[in-house]
Amino acid sequence: MVTHNPPNNRRAYQLPEFVKAQQALHRQQAKTLLAAYIAGDAAVQEEFKRHPDIDKPDFQPTLLDARMLVSSSGIVVRRLSLEKLKNDAENLLK
């Protein structure tokens, strides 16, 4: 249960159950991912190439690094095109 000490007499905030379940799933997946990385699994080491610090010579992934990769695995990053943004802005102003 995630709570904090509320100021005055406000109730402590508790995360919804689905969020707790998702966090627990990510934690378990991250542990598995990190263990596979340490064991030398080539596919997992390829997955860690998405980490922003992978190019640092002293990079040693932690559980937090693995959780970041697991949590962000479903995110699709779309590169912005300045030309497309200009066209969109011009179309809005018409």
pLDDT tens-place string over residues 48-68: 998 889 999 999 999 999 999
Is residue 47 within 8 Å of residue 33, measured between CB atoms?
Answer: yes
Whole-number pLDDT of residue 6: 55
pLDDT in tens, 13-54: 888 998 899 999 999 999 999 999 999 999 999 999 988 899
Whole-number pLDDT of residue 14: 87
**C-alpha dihedral sign at 30, 33, 35, 37:** negative
Is residue 21 within 8 Å of residue 29, measured between CB atoms?
Answer: no
Give 61: exposed, middle or buried? Use CB within 10 Å, 0-12, 13-18, 19+: buried
